[in-house]
Amino acid sequence: MRIATLTSGGDCPGLNAVIRSVVRTSSAEYGSTVVGYEDGWVGLLEDRRVQLYDDEGIDRLLIRGGTILGTGRMKTEVFKEGIDRIKENLADANIDALIPIGGEGTLKGAKFLADNGVPVVGVPKTIDNDVNNTDYTFGFDTAVAVATDAVDRLHTTAESHNRVMIVEVMGRHVGWIALHSGMAGGAHYIVIPEEPFDINEIVKSMERRFQMGEKYGIIVVAEGAKPKDGTMELEDRGTDVFGHKIFAGIGEMIGKEFTRRTDYDVRTTVLGHIQRGGTPTAFDRVLATRYGVHATRAVHEGDFGSAVALQSGEVVRIPLSEAVGQLKTVPPGRYRTAKALFG
């Protein structure tokens, strides 16, 4: 077979490990070859592709962050209008199957192609860990490790200066990174998009902490966190060209509210893309590798219109329709568990 792969949406540690895994499995188990389209769906539409060889170079990809193919985003209308061109490009390049690697948006694109007769098997990725029906996506563990390290480091400087430290982490719709890094780092309060926050409650929680003799506090906030209606004004900065909400810096806003209401010395740290860069953790390397092997096998068994997923520790195949349409949010019970340790 001749297989094509591409990486689309925000990058994340482990993408290269999937590419390596697809190339090696295709070659070693099936004698198949693999090409990569550059810069996500854009490269497929513009027919920009590179041959990927099962050589030393591909082996070195295991530990390399980012994606050697490049990634990108594309407006849904442009993508849908380009369906005939995409089909032509795949046919002209003699591609038998496509393995797109991406998050919810990419998998929706994959489903659209599958519904239009393109042989596709999707691989879920995102540091946000919000793809439905899979326990984990690779990239998440690395992001949590980076954010936890940051929280660990902020403890000592916060304590030295008797400060309230606010750490803003990624998570546009879901709070998995905030929840896990906050729990692992022993944060004193965690704010996630799924649970609209009350600024009064957060301030009171810090006050209780200081009254009990503690000298500092750490608050981890997901970038997509929202206040309860009527409790705090938020700046609305609209959406970007892809329709994604532009965040106005929720960590900084919570910090300002603290300064307005209390005498605490407050500092905010925004981790941003540091969480997405660099080498993947061992967990993410293994998960990415397993996804690559299983996606390649699914392709060779003709199981198109599916995506690989991790369920109860096993890599399984699910219909693409089950991976999209709904995000995997933090269940209320998981937040309540974390809350038991606040303060």
Residues that bind ligand F6P (CB under 6 A): 10, 126-128, 170-172, 223, 276
Active site members: 128
d(CA 143, CA 8): 18
Count of other CB atoms within 10 angstroms of residue 160: 10
Q: How far is the CB of 140 from ligand F6P (least distance, A)?
A: 10
Closest-CB residue for ligand F6P? 10
Rounded to the nearest angstrom, the gap between the alpha carbon of residue 274 and the centroid of all alpha carbons in its chain is 13
Residue 34 or 324 having the CB closest to ligand F6P: 324
Nearest-approach distance from CB 139 to ligand F6P, in angstroms: 8
Give the list of residues 6+ apart from residue 204 with CB closer than 8 angstroms, or none.
none
Nearest of 247, 18, 134 to residue 8 by alpha carbon: 18
**121 vs 240: CA distance, rounded Å:** 29
Question: Minimum CB separation from ligand F6P for residue 262, in Å?
Answer: 29
**Nearest-approach distance from CB 254 to ligand F6P, in angstroms:** 17
d(CA 206, CA 219): 9
Which letter does DSSP use for residue 230 in this model?
A: T
Closest CB to ligand F6P among residues 92, 236: 236
Q: Residue 77, SS3?
A: helix
Nearer to ligand F6P, 97 or 250 (CB): 250
Name which of 124 and 227 has its Cβ closer to ligand F6P: 124
- Minimum gap (Å) between residue 46 Cβ and ligand F6P: 20
Residue closer to ligand F6P, measured from CB, 175 or 305: 175
Please choose, from the candidates 159, 181, 156, the residue with its C-alpha nearest in 3D space to the C-alpha of residue 167.
181
d(CA 185, CA 194): 20
The letter for the amino acid at 91 is: A
12: tokens are 């994340």
- Cβ neighbour number for residue 316 with a 10 Å cutoff: 14
Q: Which is nearer to ligand F6P, 172 or 334 (CB)?
A: 172
Question: At its nearest, how many Å lie between ligand F6P and the CB of residue 73?
Answer: 8
Name the nearest CA neighbour of 111 among 93, 126, 132, 92: 132
At residue 203, what are phi and psi to the nearest 5 degrees? Answer: -60, -45
> Do 66 and 4 form a contact (C-beta atoms < 8 A)?
no
Q: In what order do the strands lie in the sheet with 33-37?
A: 49-52, 33-37, 2-7, 97-102, 121-124, 306-311, 314-319
CB of 282 to ligand F6P, least distance (A): 21
Nearer to ligand F6P, 130 or 195 (CB): 130
